[in-house]
């Protein structure tokens, strides 16, 4: 249904001083702090985990060498969604408007809606990180104490006991990331790179990473996290995280968080011959997800 003159009555009256309610600043592209953007030309994308070899055994003198097998592990699938929104203006509403180009103003509102939706969908990968209803390629949620390994056993990228963001929990996350193993149990040389927090934890994060001394203690000790540069990219605030207690430490593992862009944002407009209405549309197609869960260590808070 088109936006008509009855819905824009005040905009058609002389003496209107200002229009407000749509010209807000917005948080844009916060997903770029977390996700690697990759273009796609398919309906969906799949990434397959390759499982290498285990520890090399000792070869007894005079005996044959041992053989091992490589294999494929789990598959992470990215199914692209089409996100679109449109509006229409009646011919009379455009014709009688006294103040502004209606199409230009409402097109800005359309762009704001599209941008907000994209940030929400990106943040939902972390918002659902502790829910078994949103499993990754290995069959469990993003942050779990029991990610299965192809060679047997499990690894954890979540604390065994939920903890709030503090010096101890952050140090534990840093240590755990540096001791992650691959699917055959070999230690992977991974390092933390960035802390992602909701707005409620930004001041805690700043004190933990920037203070030269230990935070919240009377000890005259250095802040080891700061002194060692343990999280080189610092922290970022994601305003679309819904849990005020959850925090996430991103690692430098390849093929972790992915944003596949199937069709970039496109806008179009057209007039309707019968009604004279002018229609405006925005559309894009993308997916957000993760392949290797070693990309993060997360805690949902105590």
- How far apart are alpha carbons 177 and 225 in whole angstroms? 14
Do residues 165 and 197 lie in contact, with contact meaning Cβ atoms separated by under 8 Å? Answer: yes
Average pLDDT in the chain: 89
Q: Is 174 helix (H, G, I), strand (E, B) or coil?
A: helix
* Mean pLDDT lowest among 59-63, 102-106, 184-188: 102-106
* Structural domain that includes position 294: 45-50+74-299
Answer yes or no: is 26 within a domain: no
Query: Could you report the per-residue pLDDT of 49-60, keeping only the tens digit for each?
Result: 989 898 999 999
The CATH number assigned to the domain holding 244 equals 3.90.1690
Q: Phi/psi of residue 61, each to 5°?
A: -60, 130
pTM: 0.87
Confidence of residue 98 (pLDDT cuts 50, 70, 90): very low
Spatial strand order of the sheet with 81-89 comes to: 36-39, 257-271, 278-290, 81-89
Which helix or strand (DSSP H or E) is residue 280 part of?
strand 278-290
Answer yes or no: is 265 within a domain: yes
Report how many domains make up the chain: 1
Count the neighbouring beta carbons within 10 Å of the beta carbon of residue 174: 20
């Amino acid at each position: 249904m088109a936006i008509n003159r009855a819905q824009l009555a005040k905009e058609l009256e002389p003496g209107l001083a200002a229009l407000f309610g749509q010209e807000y600043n917005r948080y844009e592209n916060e997903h770029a702090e977390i996700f690697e953007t990759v273009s796609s030309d398919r309906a969906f994308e799949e990434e397959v985990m390759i499982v290498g070899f285990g520890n090399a055994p000792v070869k007894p003198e005079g005996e044959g060498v041992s053989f091992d097998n490589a294999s494929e592990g789990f598959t992470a699938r990215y199914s692209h969604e089409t996100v679109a929104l449109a509006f229409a203006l009646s011919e009379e509403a455009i014709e009688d408007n006294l103040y502004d180009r209606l199409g230009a103003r409402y097109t800005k509102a359309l762009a704001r809606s599209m941008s907000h939706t994209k940030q929400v969908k990106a943040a939902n990968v972390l918002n659902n990180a502790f829910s078994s209803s949103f499993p990754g390629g290995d069959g469990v949620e993003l942050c779990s104490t029991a990610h299965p390994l192809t060679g047997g056993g499990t690894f954890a990228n979540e604390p065994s006991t939920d903890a709030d963001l503090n010096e101890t929990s952050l140090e534990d996350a840093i240590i755990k990331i540096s001791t992650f193993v691959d699917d055959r149990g070999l230690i992977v040389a991974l390092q933390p790179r960035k802390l992602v927090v909701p707005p409620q934890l930004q001041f805690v994060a700043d004190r933990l990473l920037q203070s030269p001394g230990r935070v919240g203690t009377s000890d005259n000790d250095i802040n080891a996290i700061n002194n060692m540069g343990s999280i080189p990219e610092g922290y970022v605030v994601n305003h679309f995280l819904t849990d005020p207690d959850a925090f996430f430490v991103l690692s430098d593992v390849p093929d972790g968080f992915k944003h596949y862009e199937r069709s970039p944002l496109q806008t179009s407009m057209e007039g309707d011959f019968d009604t004279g209405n002018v229609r405006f549309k925005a559309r894009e197609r993308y997916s957000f997800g993760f392949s290797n869960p070693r990309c993060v260590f997360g805690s949902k808070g105590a």
